[in-house]
């Protein structure tokens, strides 16, 4: 699929020279080939670079759900990617549902299309390609003011936006960081006065971050057990192993930090955070209350924000929630960004039924040919 956009390269008031935009789509294992340095170069141009949209993260995400088929779509001018989206096709009762790569495993991370600011029109082309490859599109939660939201055709009778919780995003340095530092200084003095020895560790190197991650697993599981709930790291060896591999890979790229606050040698607050260029993501916190140190989570948050800023981050995604953020997140003074799930039917119900029937018939024919081959 190739479109043309007018581009004036002379700088003079003459007719613009059409530039060919090539829309590429790769399905299944071939999709990983499009996740390379050119993809990351486009991610670096985004207003809010999301670490979970990096090529390395998305390649790892392809391993999470073998029942879904990865689909990567790019818009290219020559060797340059000017638009992209990472999706997956999940079949349900014969209906092909397109969603973000990682599906429901990314609910708090607000993925979006990656669009070069000079070529906003390609977002529509990417969505058209996605709708042609599926029966139903369900993308979100994503920012309504993001590239997907602004390109989504709300005039289409088969499309609508279901509003969800908001994304909390803070520009760095955080508006309330000085106030947080002062309060944390008081917290530390009070804890030391009451007999606690407080130490703060930041793990970033490949060899040490493995240690920090195992300690995070333990604290996270213990905290959720106290809540009579189950940590996502409990009873799930696959997800723990997947997280280990991802964190080590990103540590080699200097794109991850683990913050640890210890009271008398015991971890009482930890944060797993990710980095990409100007962007940072507050990903997994773990806090154990009840110790001498009050507000350990706030101290861990301050340390994480400072570590991210020292690494070059200018904006941080704090996840999603409803209303004004509380606790350590609220202490930073983030802005609230409305989010939604963007849904669209690629075909009419009758067309979907015909498509499903056709694909089912093709599958049965293939199965019968296979059985005939075995009997021969």
User: Is the confidence at residue 366, as pLDDT, over 90?
Assistant: no
pLDDT 10s digits, 16-52: 556 789 999 999 989 999 999 999 999 999 999 999 9
Q: What is the mean pLDDT of the chain?
A: 87
Domains present along the chain, CATH in parentheses:
2-164+339-345 (3.40.630.30), 173-313 (3.40.630.30)
Residue 182 tokens, joined: 């002062």
Instruction: Say yes or no to pLDDT of 307 above 80.
Output: yes
The residue count of the chain comes to: 376
pLDDT digits (tens, 9 = 90+) for 91-137: 988 899 999 998 755 545 789 999 999 999 999 999 999 999 999 99
The pLDDT of residue 375: 52
Q: What are the angstrom distances between the C-alpha of 370 and each of 190, 359, 360, 366?
A: 74, 17, 15, 6
Check whether 347 has a pLDDT greater than 60. no
The pLDDT of residue 224? 81
- Region 359-372 average pLDDT: 48
pLDDT in tens, 105-116: 554 578 999 999
Q: Which pLDDT belongs to residue 197?
A: 98
Helix or strand or coil: residue 230?
coil
Helix (H) or strand (E) holding 131: helix 122-132
Tell whether the model's pLDDT for residue 358 goes beyond 50: no
**Does the pLDDT value for residue 203 go beyond 80?**
yes
Nearest to 82 by CA among 155, 147, 137: 147
pLDDT at 232: 80
- 357's CB contacts (< 8 A; 6+ apart) are none
Q: What is the mean pLDDT of residues 252-279?
A: 97
The span from the CA of 220 to the CA of 285, in Å, is 8
């Amino acid at each position: 699929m190739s479109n043309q956009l007018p581009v004036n390269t002379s700088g003079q008031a003459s007719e613009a020279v059409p530039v060919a935009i090539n829309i590429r789509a790769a399905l299944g294992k071939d999709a990983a080939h499009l996740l390379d340095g050119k993809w990351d170069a486009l991610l670096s141009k985004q207003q809010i670079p999301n670490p979970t949209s990096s090529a390395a993260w998305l390649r790892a995400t392809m391993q999470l759900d073998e029942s879904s088929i990865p689909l990567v779509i790019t818009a290219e001018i020559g060797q340059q990617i000017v638009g992209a989206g990472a999706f997956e096709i999940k079949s349900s009762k014969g209906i092909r549902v397109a969603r973000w790569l990682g599906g429901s495993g990314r609910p708090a991370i607000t993925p979006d299309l990656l669009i070069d600011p000079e070529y906003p029109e390609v977002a529509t082309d990417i969505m058209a390609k996605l709708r042609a490859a599926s029966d139903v599109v369900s993308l979100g939660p994503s920012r309504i003011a993001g590239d997907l939201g602004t390109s989504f055709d709300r005039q289409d009778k088969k499309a609508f936006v279901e509003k969800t919780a908001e994304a909390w995003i803070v520009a760095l340095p955080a508006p309330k960081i000085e106030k947080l530092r002062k309060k944390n200084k008081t917290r530390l003095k009070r804890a030391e006065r009451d007999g606690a020895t407080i130490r703060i560790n930041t793990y970033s190197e490949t060899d040490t971050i493995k240690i920090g991650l195992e300690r995070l697993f333990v604290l996270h599981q213990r905290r959720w057990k106290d809540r009579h709930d189950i940590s996502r790291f409990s009873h799930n060896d696959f997800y723990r192993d997947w997280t280990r591999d991802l964190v080590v890979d990103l540590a080699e790229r200097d794109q991850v930090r683990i913050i640890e606050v210890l009271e008398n040698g015991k971890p009482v607050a930890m944060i797993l955070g990710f980095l990409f260029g100007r962007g940072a993501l507050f990903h997994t916190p773990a806090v154990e209350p009840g110790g001498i140190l009050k507000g350990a989570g706030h101290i861990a948050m301050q340390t994480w924000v400072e570590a991210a800023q020292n690494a070059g981050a200018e904006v941080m995604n704090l996840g999603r929630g409803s209303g004004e953020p509380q606790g350590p997140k609220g202490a930073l003074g983030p802005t609230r960004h409305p989010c939604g799930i963007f849904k669209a039917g690629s075909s009419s119900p009758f067309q979907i039924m015909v498509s499903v029937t056709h694909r089912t018939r093709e599958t049965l024919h293939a199965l019968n040919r296979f059985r005939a081959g075995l009997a021969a």
